[in-house]
Amino acid sequence: MDDIKTQPKTSSIGSICVYCGASDSVNAIYIRLAEALGRELAGRSIRLVYGGGGVGLMGACARSANDAGGEVLGIMPRFLLAKERVFTDVEHRIVEDMHTRKMMMFEEADAFIVLPGGIGTLEEAVEILSWARLGLHAKPMAFLDEDGFWQPFFELIERIIAGGFIPETFRDALVHSTTPQDAITALEDRRVVIDL
């Protein structure tokens, strides 16, 4: 009976790509959220695919997932090795440029979670949403924060929809969650269907 209780929860999603900040100079609540997400991914036997760094939210999420026995794949462009300090305790691939990194992260993932981050995080998320808008994939995305960090982004999406630039069905491509559990559950329940 005890063996049954300790078995990890399984998911219909095999891999989730996490986009997030690579700065150590952030509010500790964001680091704790990244750690909680890493543990939750490991607990559900979902592989973490991420940018390969050992710093900021990236490093926190990867270390937490690895420490909890989860599978982790980091993908790092060569020119960022010194800045983002590849996390060598997990499987990692060194690529030549950002385009290769982003494409490989996309190909290795079944879904995406966006933690708080800066311009690079936003750029990665928006590119994936743009590809969904063009009908190039149907992989769902969740934005995850506990303090409303991403609320202005969702307000902007509503303005874009109201302006007629994207259809209302675009809302189906993304969710806004406040816990790792809710984010992953929402991704498991979603498949993106967007009018072109």
Q: How confident is the model over 99-111, as pLDDT tens digits?
A: 999 999 999 999 9
Backbone torsions φ then ψ of 125, nearest 5 degrees: -65, -45
CA 169 to chain centroid: 22
Mark residue 52 as left, alpha or beta (left: phi above 0; alpha: psi -120 to 50; beta: remaining): left
Mark residue 190 as left, alpha or beta (left: phi above 0; alpha: psi -120 to 50; beta: remaining): beta
C-alpha 109/C-alpha 74 separation (Å) is 12
Q: What percent of the chain has pLDDT over 70?
A: 91
Residue 8 has pLDDT above 90, yes or no: no
Tokens coding 44: 């559900």
For 129-142, what is the mean pLDDT? 92
**pTM (two decimals):** 0.90
Whether the Cβ atoms of residue 180 and residue 150 lie closer than 8 Å to each other: no
Residue 52 has pLDDT above 50, yes or no: yes
Looking at residue 194, its pLDDT comes to: 40
Q: Domain ranges for the chain, please list them.
A: 13-189
Residue 1 has pLDDT above 60, yes or no: no
Looking at residue 196, its pLDDT comes to: 39
Residue 191 has pLDDT above 70, yes or no: no
CATH class of 13-189: alpha beta
